[in-house]
Structure 1
Amino acid sequence: MAFWAYMLHCRGGKFYTGHTDDLERRLAQHQSGIHKGFTSDKLPVVLVWSQEFPSRYEAIAAERQIKGWSRAKKLALIRGDWDAVSRHAKGKSGPSTSSGQTGIEVAAQALVQMRAAAFAAHPQEACGILLGEGDRITAAVAARNVHPAPRTHFEIDPQALIDAHRAARTPGAPQVLGYFHAHPSGLVAPSATDQAQAARDGAIWAIIAGDAVALWRDGAGGFAALSFTIIES
């Protein structure tokens, strides 16, 4: 069974975000005024964005996330401008994070590697390992997604993780800083599934949706958005 998060443009320029398991029926209810609440006195309403999710939990998570976004960020989502969505996310989170960092440096080549992995794996979720030193990500190494439902979940091949951590013990070798995965039909933000499987170990998570990439810190208090600067090497 599929579920949707959706956004309506209402009279007066307002936006309404909701979720449903029957998008066509729910839209008809909104447009007729049968669905009482925010939209019933703001007709007409027009569907401007919707996204299908494999579970109700993920649709609800997307609804709640989008409700907290600025108008500019919602407009970027409606346009499908993922770079703008990512910029607004970083702008809202500010230059610092819960761990006191001033931002992450990401090598341009690492971004190319993540996007290439996401493109190659589509419509399944790509995944891999982030390598570097300190607050600088220098490489993104794609790994096999061994989850039995790779279209909606990811699990990095355990052998790839073992090999990466073993290589990191070599003096001067890049360290394992975190992980990346793609959301082929989702947002550049941790899903309900991501939240559930997070280790809360301080690792960096990179999430790719389309061409957009956003970074998150998997901390003890949950995921926190990280600002980042692109560097050449």
Structure 2
Amino acid sequence: MTGFFTVCTMEEEGADPVIAAFYRAALEPGQWHAALRAFARLAGGDVACCFLKAEAGLAPSRAHICGLDEQAWEDGYRRYYHAIDPGYTVLKQGMPGRMYLMQDYISARAVARSEYFQDFYLRAGVRYSCSGTIRDGGGLTILSAHRAAGQGRYDGRTRLQLQRVLEHLPNVFRLRDTAQQAQVHGALAWAALDELPRAILLVDACLQLVFMNQAAQRLLCGPPLAPSLASATAAIVLRGGKVGVRATAVQQRLAQRVRQVCAG
């Protein structure tokens, strides 16, 4: 049994663990809910959605939802309210690849007069959203995080954290699509990991290195990094084919978590 992790700074909070969760969901479809739950936590709320919406105004499809009653979403948003969602109007007028804070575009007065807000969104228990789109085939994939009124408005720093996640979504979907093909052509799975811009290490339960992609090789085995970049990876080392970190306490935590993943 093996497990993989992405190389990032050794922080418990921030966008990096969320980005890693989305990459894992690309390879393990059952992990989409966990990835969205992490995205919602990063946003300071409880609700997150990721779904495909055709540009021609058709109802959304391929939805992943966290923190919202899926039946209400199917019977409400997908059936009707998507057509009058003022946030989608903002996204259509904006640029794909950017997260937008709807609080900056939809006034309190507009909320009070909006059928979407009054009959659906507020009744679902949410008030503020941060959303962005990427191109996905013939339509747009929308990634959004939502906060209840009591959780307050978004700040600029949170938007930038969510923006970092959105920027990885095209790579996540490429990995997802290639992994699906790899069920027939096994070599494609390794090729997909090798092409990802994010450094990925595959290890066994004893932290023995099984595979690392080209980005990881450049990061860990290439020429010395500039000082501004070196601090982010200096803690990660390879010793006798095993992945480790310099800090003993962190090494113990890493070993424990890898064992748990492999056992799972």
Pairwise same-fold verdict (TM > 0.5): no
Larger strand share, 1 or 2: 1
Q: Quick check: which has more Rg, 1 or 2?
A: 2
TM-score (norm 1): 0.29
Bigger relative contact order, structure 1 or 2, given CA contacts below 8 A and separation 6+?
A: 2
Larger helix share, 1 or 2: 2
